[in-house]
């Protein structure tokens, strides 16, 4: 190739790649955890296991992991053994493609799937403390690992739907997630700093909730804030949105279970 | 701004449908709404209280301004201090009623408009964020902000 040919090939590539980038998408080197926007006391609370209230759920998750359940009378540990090994990195690559349903499944969904299908036990209802505890316990095994969404072509259409949901304006206030989290992060909404909306700390302890909550619960808060309808817990749209958020957060270290104001 | 106005369609029509849903008809002239939405004049004191109410009017979520709780206001929009000097009452009215007519991309919600958007939560569907009287109260207050 001559220099000119190389240049035009490059320009063509750039032109092809361009539509993939969002107008306001956050460049990789500017991605920051929600924790960066918190007051120093709240950051300290998250960083110190003895002060982080979410660690109570991790302890409970550890106990549940070993407890036989359901008709099969088997515990998670019976099949998965030591979490530090078997569950390391699992949270960093969820949502992942689920063969059974032919669509993405998030970590909570995966845990409930094992509970229903492999333990033959009643699945936990949304926001159930035991489900949150197991999810926090499993997610904790990925502490510090970079968010690593799977490069699975079967996920692409769902991720694109997630992006669409992130960018479309909704609710009586007619705002999109991107309006705040891509275009105005770092600004203040009525005194509260707007974070970049990364999913890497979930499930987490929110001081406002006074309990542990899932990412979906957080997303519902934002939807309610703009006076929009919220999908029900576990709805496919939620999982697609989670998938897109994980792609946006690619490379950021996992910090679950986090603390937020 | 002028160019934006020229390409806007003339906006007479507010079907009786919307009138029934709590949006009163109004007429856009230039980049403003000259005629008040209500017969009774707005009350600037009520407007001040309403504009500072983050749940009801939401203005402080985005705008800094001469509000009592200084640390609770947003930084996403221009400071409302002095807006009564920068803009005429008619211009302020259109911006509060439906700023999207001037700038479809703006993040500022259209406060006196109703759409058929199915994503609006049931509790808010078919209702404008602010009623005509509330808009007039806020416009009256903003018009007093001369510095």
A10, containing H or E segment: helix A3-17
Beta-bridge partner residues of A228 = B120
Q: How far is A170 from chain B (nearest CA, A)?
A: 6
- Is residue B53's pLDDT more than 80? yes
* Regions of chain A short of the pLDDT cut 50: 1-22
C-alpha span between A28 and A251 (Å, rounded): 8
Interface residues on B facing A, Cβ-Cβ cutoff 8 A: 54, 58, 60-62, 69, 71-76, 100, 107, 109-110, 115, 117-125, 127, 129
Q: Residues near A207 by Cβ (< 8 Å), separated by ≥ 6?
A: A42, A259, A260, A261
In chain B, the domains with their CATH numbers are 2-144 (1.10.760.10)
Contacts of B73 in chain A (CB under 8 A): 188, 190-191
C-alpha span between A27 and A170 (Å, rounded): 25
Question: What's the token pair of residue A14?
Answer: 């750039």
In chain A, the domains with their CATH numbers are 3-12+32-49+151-260 (1.10.760.10), 55-140 (1.10.760.10)
Q: What percent of chain B has pLDDT over 90?
A: 81
Give the mean pLDDT of B35-56: 96
Q: Give pLDDT tens digits for A232-251.
A: 999 999 999 999 999 999 99
User: Annotated catalytic, A79?
Assistant: no
Comparing CB atoms, the residue among A171, A187, A188 nearest residue B119 is A171
Q: Which of B22, B54, B71, B109 to mutate to test the interface with A (most CBs of A within 10 A)?
A: B109
A224 contacts B120? CB cut-off 8 A: no
Q: Give pLDDT tens digits for A20-65.
A: 334 578 999 999 999 999 999 999 999 999 999 999 999 999 999 9
ipTM confidence: 0.87
C-alpha span between A15 and A5 (Å, rounded): 15
Q: Which of residues 169-198 of A touch B (CB under 8 A)?
A: 170-175, 179, 183-184, 187-191
């Amino acid at each position: 190739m001559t220099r000119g040919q190389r240049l035009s090939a490059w320009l063509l590539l750039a032109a092809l790649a361009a539509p993939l980038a969002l107008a306001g998408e956050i460049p990789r080197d500017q991605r920051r955890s929600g924790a960066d926007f918190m007051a120093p006391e709240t950051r300290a609370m998250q960083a110190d296991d003895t002060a982080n209230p979410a660690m109570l759920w991790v302890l409970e998750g550890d106990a549940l992991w070993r407890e036989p359940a359901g008709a099969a009378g088997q515990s998670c540990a019976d099949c998965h053994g030591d979490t530090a090994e078997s569950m390391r990195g699992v949270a960093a690559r969820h949502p992942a493609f689920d063969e059974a349903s032919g669509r993405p499944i998030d970590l909570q969904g995966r845990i409930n799937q094992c509970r229903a299908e492999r333990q033959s036990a009643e699945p936990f209802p949304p926001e159930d403390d035991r489900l949150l505890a197991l999810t926090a316990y499993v997610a904790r095994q990925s502490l510090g690992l970079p968010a690593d969404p799977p490069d699975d072509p079967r996920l692409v259409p769902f991720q694109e739907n997630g992006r669409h949901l992130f960018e479309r304006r909704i609710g009586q206030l007619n705002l999109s997630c991107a309006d705040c989290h891509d275009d105005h992060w770092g600004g203040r909404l009525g005194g509260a700093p707007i974070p970049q909306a990364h999913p890497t700390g979930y499930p987490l302890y929110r001081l406002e909730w006074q309990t542990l909550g899932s990412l979906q619960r957080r997303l519902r808060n934002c939807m309610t804030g703009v006076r929009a309808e919220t999908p029900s817990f576990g709805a496919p749209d939620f999982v697609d949105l989670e998938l897109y958020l994980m792609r946006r957060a690619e490379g950021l270290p996992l910090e679950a279970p986090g603390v937020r104001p | 701004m002028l160019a934006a106005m020229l390409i806007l369609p003339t906006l007479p029509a507010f079907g009786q449908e919307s009138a029934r849903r709590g949006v009163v008809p109004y007429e856009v002239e230039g980049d403003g709404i000259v005629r008040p939405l209500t017969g009774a004049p707005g009350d600037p004191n009520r407007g001040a209280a309403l504009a500072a109410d983050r749940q009801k009017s939401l203005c402080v979520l985005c705008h800094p301004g001469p509000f009592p709780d200084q640390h609770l206001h947003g930084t996403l929009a221009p400071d409302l201090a002095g807006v009564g000097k920068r803009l005429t009452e008619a211009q302020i009215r259109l911006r509060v009623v439906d700023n999207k007519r001037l700038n479809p991309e703006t993040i500022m919600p259209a406060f006196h408009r109703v759409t058929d958007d199915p994503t609006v939560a049931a509790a808010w569907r078919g209702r404008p964020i602010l009623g005509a009287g509330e808009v007039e109260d806020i416009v009256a207050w903003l018009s007093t902000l001369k510095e």
